[in-house]
């Protein structure tokens, strides 16, 4: 009779050494199969002396059970290892972007408009829009700029050929006509913000014949100059991300506001560069209390309602915030410029997520 201890050691080593399910099955067949070595020994029990049969039989049974259990345990280990290998192999990093980064980007003008809107939306303003082609009345007359008014010359207006319903048509020279359209359509109280394209016949390093403005208008029974100041100071500080940015209101003149003020922010000019913040001044927007004549032109009772309005140039805001030196480059459609100054398409500006990219 074979040395059972040696056989046990040998079979156990074979089980442990089986590298995969197939090898393990071969070990099982060779040991416990119909013609396996342990099976053969059991079959041979009949020839063993009767007095030894019981002990050897018990030892063989024990060996068979031990090998069987070892094979089972090894099978589970191999299955686990197999699963681990598959998991590692088929691993997916769910934090990777679903798609490659979009080739396009958001133009700094769109980005700046989105940022301005996000700030005013937070204050409760809603967005209004109007047509780029305006009639003379909405662009000028209703805003208290009568035909002979010198302010008309300052606007370098593009006039369109012909008339519509007897009215001379223009490319709007500012977004202020949307104040008129809104007040004609909506009863106060109202607070709107108006982003849009504007046009003036002017072209040099600091002027483009097409540019962008954002207009604001608030009309209510108790609106006063303090509201105008608070609103615009908050806006400037949020937009430039400087909590203590100096903001100054300087008396000015617009036919459609009375009194009027231009708004300056603190800046520093050194070595030919301009930085936001500091104790020099830089003009960034026009504002004022809505002229009662304008309210009356829109059928609003100026005894009961008051309002404030403001207007700002988007290109100028974008140049200041993002350090873009030349206005003309905005509209060159140079892909290298767009890649450099563009913004990621999915980074929508909000107050809570921060406005900066």
* Residues lying near ligand PHE in the complex (CB under 6 A): 174, 176, 215, 254, 257, 286-288, 309-311
What CA–CA distance (Å, rounded) separates 103 from 96?
Answer: 17
**Shortest distance, position 320 Cβ to ligand PHE, whole Å:** 17
344 closest CA partner among 108, 94, 120, 119: 108
The residue number whose beta carbon is nearest to ligand PHE equals 311
Looking at the Cβ atoms of 28 and 174, the one nearer to ligand PHE is 174
Looking at the Cβ atoms of 111 and 139, the one nearer to ligand PHE is 139
296 closest CA partner among 329, 256, 240, 345: 256
Looking at the Cβ atoms of 286 and 349, the one nearer to ligand PHE is 286
**Shortest distance, position 235 Cβ to ligand PHE, whole Å:** 14
Looking at the Cβ atoms of 234 and 283, the one nearer to ligand PHE is 283
CA dihedral sign of residues 180, 186, 189, 193? negative
Looking at the Cβ atoms of 255 and 349, the one nearer to ligand PHE is 255
- Going across the sheet that includes 159-164, the strands are 133-135, 167-171, 159-164
Looking at the Cβ atoms of 31 and 178, the one nearer to ligand PHE is 178
**Shortest distance, position 313 Cβ to ligand PHE, whole Å:** 8
Quote the DSSP letter at residue 21: H
Q: Encoding tokens for residue 158?
A: 């593009």
**Shortest distance, position 109 Cβ to ligand PHE, whole Å:** 17
Name the H helices within the chain: 4-17, 21-32, 37-43, 50-89, 108-122, 136-139, 151-154, 177-185, 225-240, 292-297, 314-322, 335-341
CA dihedral sign of residues 279, 285, 289, 291? positive
**Shortest distance, position 107 Cβ to ligand PHE, whole Å:** 22
| Contacting residues for 347 by C-beta, under 8 A, at least 6 apart | 106, 357
Looking at the Cβ atoms of 36 and 307, the one nearer to ligand PHE is 307
**Shortest distance, position 103 Cβ to ligand PHE, whole Å:** 36
**Shortest distance, position 175 Cβ to ligand PHE, whole Å:** 7
Looking at the Cβ atoms of 18 and 194, the one nearer to ligand PHE is 194
Quote the DSSP letter at residue 33: S
Chain CA centroid to CA 34, Å: 70
**Shortest distance, position 257 Cβ to ligand PHE, whole Å:** 5
Is residue 176 helix, strand or coil? coil
**Shortest distance, position 98 Cβ to ligand PHE, whole Å:** 43
Torsion angles phi and psi, residue 66, rounded to 5: -65, -45
DSSP string, 193-250: EEEEEEE-S--BTTB-SEEEEEEEEEEETT--HHHHHHHHHHHHHHHHT-TT--EEEE
Looking at the Cβ atoms of 27 and 295, the one nearer to ligand PHE is 295
């Amino acid at each position: 009779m074979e040395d059972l201890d040696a056989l046990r050691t040998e079979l156990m080593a074979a089980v442990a050494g089986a590298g995969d399910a197939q090898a393990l099955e071969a070990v099982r067949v060779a040991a416990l199969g119909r013609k396996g070595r342990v099976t053969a020994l059991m079959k041979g029990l009949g020839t063993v002396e009767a007095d030894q049969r019981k002990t050897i039989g018990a030892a063989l049974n024990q060996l068979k059970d031990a090998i069987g259990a070892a094979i089972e345990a090894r099978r589970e280990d191999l299955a686990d290892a197999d699963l681990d290998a598959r998991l590692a192999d088929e691993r997916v990093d769910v934090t990777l972007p679903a798609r490659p980064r979009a080739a396009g980007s958001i133009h700094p003008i769109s980005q700046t408009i989105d940022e301005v809107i996000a700030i005013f939306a937070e204050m409760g303003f809603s967005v209004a829009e109007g047509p780029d082609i305006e009639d003379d009345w909405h662009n000028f007359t209703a805003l208290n700029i009568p035909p002979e008014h010198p302010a008309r010359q300052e606007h370098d207006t593009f006039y369109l050929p012909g008339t519509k319903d007897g009215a001379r048509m223009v490319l709007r020279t500012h977004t202020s006509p949307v104040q008129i359209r809104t007040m004609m359509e909506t009863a106060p109280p109202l607070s709107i913000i108006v982003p849009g394209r504007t046009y003036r016949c002017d072209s040099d390093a600091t002027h483009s014949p097409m540019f962008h403005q954002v207009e604001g208008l608030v009309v209510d029974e108790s609106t006063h100059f303090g509201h105008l100041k608070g609103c615009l100071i908050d806006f400037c500080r949020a937009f430039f991300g400087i909590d203590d940015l100096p903001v100054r209101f300087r008396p000015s003149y617009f036919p459609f506001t009375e009194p009027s003020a231009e708004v300056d922010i603190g800046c520093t000019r050194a070595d030919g560069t301009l930085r936001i913040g500091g104790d020099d001044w830089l003009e960034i927007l026009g504002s004022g209390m809505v002229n009662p004549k304008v309210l009356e032109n829109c059928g609003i009772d100026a005894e009961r309602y008051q309002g404030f309005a403001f207007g700002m140039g988007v290109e100028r805001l974008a140049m200041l915030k993002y350090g873009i030196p030349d206005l003309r480059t905005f509209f060159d459609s140079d892909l290298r410029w767009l890649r450099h100054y563009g913004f990621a398409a999915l980074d929508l500006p909000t107050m809570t997520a921060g406005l900066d990219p």
